Amino acid sequence: MSIYDTLNIQQQQAVFQTEGPVLILAGAGSGKTRVLTHRIAYLIEEKGVNPWNIMAITFTNKAAGEMRERVDKIVGMHADSVWVSTFHSCCVRILRRYIDRIGYENNFTIYDTEDQKTVIKEICKRLNVDTKIYKEKAIMAQISHAKDELITPDEFELNAAGDYSKKKVASVYQAYQEQLKKNNALDFDDLLTKTVELFQSCPEVLDSYQERFRYLMVDEYQDTNTAQFKFISLLAAKYHNLCVVGDDDQSIYKFRGANIGNILGFEKVFPEAVVIRLEQNYRSTQNILNAANEVIRNNTERKEKTLWTENEEGDPIRFRQFMNGYEEAEFVAGEVIKNHQEGRCRFRDCAVLYRTNAQSRLFEEKFLLANVPYKIVGGVNFYSRKEIKDLLAYMKTVDNARDDLAVRRIINVPKRGIGAATLGKVQTFADHYGMSFYEAMKQAEEIPGLGRSTGKITGFMNFIRALKSKAEVLSVRELLEEIIESTGYVAELEAEDTDEARARIENIDELISKTESYEEAAKAQNLNPTLSGFLEEIALIADIDSVDSSQDYVLLMTLHSAKGLEFPYVYLAGMEDGIFPSYMTITADDPSELEEERRLCYVGITRAMKGLTMTCAMQRMIRGEIQYNKVSRFVKEIPRDIVDLGHTVQKKEIPVPKANNAYMQMRQAFRAKAFEPKAFQVKKAEKLSYQPGDTVRHVKFGVGIVKEITEGGRDYEVTVDFDRVGVKKMFASFAKLKKI
């Protein structure tokens, strides 16, 4: 029996249609990855296509890794010649080879969001842009959107004519791009825009890749933006063998620039396109699919399709309404414990999905009290922690000394006595002569007014030169260990001898482990592990890549983070109008906003395999105030005959096994507090005893660093990065943080 006989009829059509443009509308759980991998095998085995003439692109490292694994398994020999990559990784590979054609050096640095914000902040200060009026994040969002649409700084300024606010952003955008080029750095959006620029300005480079990739496949096509569409269309322009796979009903990333028009209008761009629908679902029960079908049917911007399955009908969708968010979280924790102890599921079989990250707090509290292992997806990125950023900045400086951001970060790590005034003089000298900060420091003796600081700068430069020479013979791991040893970074933390210092040392140990795993993975793929390659891999890591499917914990995540995943049991929390769909969406003039929220609900429903529970609260505390919301309209769109309503409002105790006596006592305490209004009275302090950057202790979350303090009318909102549980936002009066 052929491997293609295991596919259903529609899947076979998608595999066998190899020539010309093809649009595969793949419903949730319809086996699209299976189709793509079998299509690659068919091209090689039956059509005689060379493996190196095939490229498959997806969005996440996780999805690319799974596809790579399946391709290797099904194709066998020469499978490694097939390019299986994310958009960003693919563009990095191309730019590493040819970006010098458009004025950059090939060892460019990739900036993450925090790096971008630092540069934007410096530029705003330099241009006298008031960041209280023009927030850095808002400016970054506008610049990112412009890049998604392939709008250059000059075009942005032209479009801003007559709009004072946009002209301000235009000036920052222009200066930002100039600074990036000066630093020989690219942000994430640049990876695509610069590749498109390279293709458009160097026809011979484009032609070489068109010849290389004669068969192009794109997964999750509904999530592509204008820049990604342009990149794909340029590559496919010569041979037209473009196969895109996606589901317009799962287009949920408009806020990131995704253009649903790319998939809805595919046949207009490619009139000769063959359209194939995959509607058989292999993941969920029929009741779950019925709920999803009925909800999404209320959208108008979609291509008609109906999911069905040969799986069992399954249990009804459970809906539970509670008095408040505390009882909602308590119920979910109790359900997970009960199902786990009765042997119906493992912890990793369960996921709690919510609309916003802020909703995770109550679930985290209840899971901590109940001793339920959990992991929050979308918390603080490991690579954003101070000690990791410091050591990576050293590695970036060794790799690309033009990266001013990295150089300035480490010049006083450890402390070298090089003050702000000295750094200002170096920067002025660099700006005057149009050179990088690092290049200016090479000429420290020629910079007027440095005095004794000249020797300190010269010492730093000699240290970096020594590291650069060692990097030529040391492995990535050995270089990192050399940096740690030479700077005395860990020795200084050991001398502190605090819980916080020990946690930071553990993080550094984990970074060393990462270098080792990178080198092993590179060698397994017959690649030469390099410093640039390591830094590139880290830059492209996403939150979801940190999820280890072998670990037994409940996942807590936003609905956006859950896309592409599946779980036997899903809890959709906060199903209230004003929460999901959000208040902004409900009141928006544009009906497409509500349709995107409905697609997000559809994604949430279709993550469930066996059991789906939806929960909501009659009252919920939002920003320190009680809000009363109606049941979500999305819940009301599900037919009543497949919904188990339980009690209208849950008031009874949730049965928890007697073994959890401590949990029961703690839970009773929380229940009592939830109904005592006096416990929530806020008395705003005149002044806080801590500031951003200070180390503080929380009675439950432990030690952390204050990242931000926002003064509100009733209280201060404090953002703290805790070593153990990540970033938390809390009101100062309730948090009772103590500076240490």
- Known catalytic residue at 32: yes
Catalytic residue among 219, 248, 364, 723: 219
- Known catalytic residue at 219: yes
Beta bridge partners of 243: 22, 217
Catalytic residue among 10, 33, 58, 60: 33
b (16+ CB within 10 A) / e for 576-612: bbbbbbbeebeeeeeeebbbbbbbbbbbbbbbbbbbb
Reduce the DSSP state of residue 740 to 3 states and report it.
coil
Catalytic residue among 86, 224, 250, 397: 250
Residue (of 726, 730, 727, 722) closest to 702 by Cα position: 722
Residues sharing a CB contact under 8 Å with residue 315, sequence separation 6 or more, in sequence order: 285, 287, 610, 611, 644
Q: What are phi and psi of 616, to 5 degrees?
A: -150, 170
Reduce the DSSP state of residue 341 to 3 states and report it.
helix
Reported as type and span, the H/E element at residue 704 is strand 702-711
Residues sharing a CB contact under 8 Å with residue 79, sequence separation 6 or more, in sequence order: 51, 71, 72
User: 661-674 and 325-341 helices cross at what angle (nearest 10)?
Assistant: 160
Catalytic residue among 220, 223, 247, 364: 220
Residue (of 485, 489, 514, 515) closest to 504 by Cα position: 489
Chain centroid to CA 464: 32
Measuring CA to CA, how many Å separate 347 from each of 269, 375, 379, 492?
46, 11, 20, 39
d(CA 731, CA 682): 9
Catalytic residue among 32, 70, 425, 728: 32
- Known catalytic residue at 286: no
Catalytic residue among 34, 283, 389, 607: 607
Residue (of 492, 471, 493) closest to 480 by Cα position: 471
User: 489-496 and 476-487 helices cross at what angle (nearest 10)?
Assistant: 50
Q: Residue 45: exposed, middle, or buried by beta-carbon count in 10 A (0-12, 13-18, 19+)?
A: middle
d(CA 468, CA 398): 5
Written as six digits, the tokens of 418 are 């090089």
Measuring CA to CA, how many Å separate 115 from each of 124, 147, 167, 399, 590?
14, 17, 23, 17, 34
Q: What are phi and psi of 15, to 5 degrees?
A: -75, -45
Written as six digits, the tokens of 201 are 């300005």
- Known catalytic residue at 220: yes
Check: CB of residue 714 under 8 Å from CB of residue 700: no
d(CA 230, CA 698): 49
The two most distant CA atoms of the chain are separated, in Å, by: 82
- Residue 479: Cβ within 10 Å count: 23
User: 188-201 and 203-212 helices cross at what angle (nearest 10)?
Assistant: 100
Chain centroid to CA 86: 13
d(CA 438, CA 441): 5
- Known catalytic residue at 250: yes
d(CA 356, CA 560): 9
> Which residues carry out catalysis?
32-33, 219-220, 250, 607
